[in-house]
Structure 1
Amino acid sequence: MQVDEQRLRFRDAMASLAAAVNIVTTAGHAGRCGITATAVCSVTDTPPSRDGMY
C-alpha cells in the first residue's frame, strides 16, 4: 500500500468513528494486547497513529 493511500484510508477510518467506546488492539513480539478507550483522537497520519484516553 502506498503511503498516500494509507494516509487517506486512515483519515477516512478516523472520520468514521462513531462508537462511544473503542477497542484498540495490537500484536507484537511480546504478544497480543488490547484496551477499551472511551475517547480516541488521531495523533498523526504519518505513520497512522492515534491516542486513547481510558
Structure 2
Amino acid sequence: LASSGVRLMINLARGFEEHPEVKYGITTMCIGLGMGGTVIWENPHFNGSAGKGAK
C-alpha cells in the first residue's frame, strides 16, 4: 500500500527514457470514495526531432 503513485511515476520515467519522441505522459489513480488524482508529466528527455518523418 501507499506505493502505487511511486510505481506509476517510475514506470512513466522509464517509458520517457525509452521513448524520447514522446513529450507528455499522464498518471492517474483512484483515491477512494469516488475521487481520483491525475498528473500530466513533461518528458525531460524529449527530443522533438526523434519522431520526425516517422509514422
Structure scoring higher RCO (CA < 8 A, sep ≥ 6) equals 2
**TM-score, L = length of structure 2:** 0.35
**TM-score, L = length of structure 1:** 0.36
Q: Which has the higher strand share?
A: 1
